[in-house]
Amino acid sequence: MSDKSISIDRRKLLAGIGAAGALGMAPTLQAQPGLKVVERTLDLDDPKENLRALLKLQADLSGKDVLSGFPGKVWGWVPGKGNTLLFNTYGIGCSHIEEVAEGYRFYHRELLYYTDPKTNEVLDSWENPYTGKTVEVRHIINDPVNRFYPFAGGRFSPPYPYEVYGNDIVFQISVFRFEESPMSRADYPLHSADDNYQSAELWGMIGRMEEVMDPAVTSASCVTSWSRISQWLPFMEMGDAPGIMAFHSHAYKLMNGASELPPEILAYTQKNYPEYLESPKEWLGMKDNKSQVTESKKEIDRRWTQEGPAGSVFIAD
């Protein structure tokens, strides 16, 4: 799950990936006897056909909505003090794509609930084990989180790194960010870990070659491994305390739609955020994309009306 629009160039995207992957191509792994070999109707080394293969996994080439659900966990990692399970999570993303002359528009909105590690209940408040204080939980509620996939040139252009093993295909993309934070330490001492925002999102999109290579299939089944390394969340009010957060999730493309969501998650979403069960219908580009950091800043600024640096605004009553 991205917490901001992907806005990095191809060189940055591929930095740190192996040499074969850095060319956007990967040879088929050494096949073992008995592995299914699928006839290739798409040339995965051709930029446009590589992109179509990726979008069959991420979306539906017909333009229909695609809904994904992703359970996971979030850990706190403090050097010298160990690792702590902080939350379970459950996320929902809904997208559709539109082909235009230059590439594909990817219309997307997403949410991620922080839930109790023992009961899986969606949390309203949470006792921070590092500070002992109970804070209001601010879930990730981002609309829109659009992307644009160009056919050639520009940012984030194909071909994308992939590997094939028999009937399995994996697209692997790593996104590392280091940029000026929307919240400076001087102005947001409780909510900002650093004057620079730093994170990593690690994606592995896994599907079946027989579906990707079938011309009659516009939406292939997909499981996406998603991990994220980031700074403390603003609502935790941890400031620049040592440590990082590790998110680990697997997203499932829900081929039969919202009925495949866990019943309690579906009911909570229908009551509180029903629009997140459908993709955005108006193209707003990427300039209005939302992230947890930008939305947290808006809420802190709304609540903190005093002069000087922002103080605590998320302590639960």
Q: Using H for helix, E for strand and C for coil, what is the string for the chain?
A: CCCCCCCCCHHHHHCCCCHHHHCCCCCCCCCCCCCCCCCCCCCCCCHHHHHHHHHHHHCCCCCCCEEEEEEEEEEEEECCCEEEEEEEEEEEEEEEEEEECCEEEEEEEEEEEEECCCCCCECCEEECCCCCCEEECCCEEECCCCEEEECCCCCCCCCCCEEEECCEEEEEEEEEEEEECCCCCCCCCCCCCCCEEEEEEEEEEEEEHHHHCCCCCCCCCCEEEEEEEECCCHHHCCCCCCCEEEEEEEEEECCCHHHHCCHHHHHHHHHHCHHHHCCCCCCCCCCCCCCHHHHHHHHHHHHCCCCCCCCCCCECC
pTM over 0.75: yes
Express each pLDDT in 87-106 by its tens digit.
999 999 999 999 999 999 99
| Least-confidence region, from 30-44, 244-258, 270-284 | 30-44
Would residue 85 count as lying in a domain? yes
**Angle in degrees, CA 296, 298, 299, rounded to 5:** 65
Show the tokens assigned to 36: 């299914």
Q: Do residues 179 and 136 touch, judged by C-beta distance below 8 A?
A: no
Print the domain residue range for 82. Answer: 38-99+117-303
2 pLDDT higher than 70 = no
Average pLDDT over residues 169-188: 96
Residue 211 within a domain = yes
Residue 241 lies in a domain: yes
pLDDT digits over 120-157, tens only?
999 999 999 999 999 999 999 999 999 999 999 876 78
User: How many domains, the chain?
Assistant: 1
Residue 3 has pLDDT above 50, yes or no: no
Averaged pLDDT for residues 46-51: 98
How would residue 17 be classed by pLDDT, with cut points 50, 70 and 90?
Answer: very low
90 in any annotated domain: yes
Position 37 scores a pLDDT of 84
- Asked, for residue 217, whether it belongs to a domain, the answer is yes
Ranges 1-10, 21-30, 289-298, 305-314: which has the least confidence: 1-10
With cut-offs at 50, 70 and 90, classify the pLDDT of residue 35: confident
Nearest to 183 by CA among 172, 171, 193, 170: 193
Q: What is the reported pLDDT for 22?
A: 35
Per-residue pLDDT band for 300 (boundaries 50, 70, 90) equals: very high
Tens-digit pLDDT profile for residues 151-175 = 998 767 899 999 999 999 999 999 9
Residue 291 in domain = yes
In a domain, 26, yes or no: no
Tell me the backbone φ, ψ of residue 292, rounded to 5 degrees.
-65, -35
Quick check: 10 pLDDT over 50? no
User: Taking all residues of the chain, what is their mean pLDDT, rounded to a whole number?
Assistant: 91
The two structure tokens encoding residue 164: 């094939």
Is 13 contained in some domain? no
Residue 30 pLDDT greater than 90, yes or no: no
